[in-house]
Amino acid sequence: MSARSDIAPSTLGVELHDYGVEVEYIDNRTTVYRGVPEAVTGTLGTAPGKEVHVLVTDPTETEGVMMYVNDLKSHDDVLESSGVGRVILGEGEEEELFPGVLVRRVPGHRFEVEADPEVARGRVFVFVEDDWGEDSYEFVAE
């Protein structure tokens, strides 16, 4: 299978803790994005070469959907069995991942994410990571 296909997400379990955001995949594995997310409004720009994961919770904050942006490491079958979606964007392309959540690829292997939590009807988290570290952000109303 291709490692570069767009994949639709499934509903995942979500638990919000004081030490981070825990996600339970549909294959029952879990991961924790550690740290209290930094509040952001407007547009979030990423550094070049970072992995970008976008999580939108439902209004109860116990379920959500997650998309990986331009993930070229995970094969389709791995994402499908975990319930994580993926979108592949070329430079200059943008896509509305969920209502109220837009991501675009800008020059230099960077991304911009814009989100309106009221339109998304839940909390919107963005996790930006590489082999050296991880940053967590949450879009809040202006």
Enumerate residues 6+ apart whose C-beta is below 8 A from 94.
Answer: 102, 103, 104, 105
Rounded Cα–Cα distance for residues 65 and 58 (Å): 8
On the CB side of 19, how many CA atoms lie within 13 Å of its CA? Answer: 2
Q: Is the pTM of this model over 0.85?
A: yes
Domains of the chain: 11-139 (2.60.40)
CA–CA separation, 29 and 90 (whole Å): 31
pLDDT at 131: 87
User: Is the per-residue pLDDT at 3 higher than 80?
Assistant: no
Give residue-wise pLDDT tens across range 61-106.
Answer: 999 999 999 998 899 999 999 999 999 999 999 999 999 999 999 9
At 136, list the tokens.
Answer: 């967590």
Mean pLDDT of 1-26: 89
Of 94, 93, 58, 66, nearest in space to 8 by CA: 66
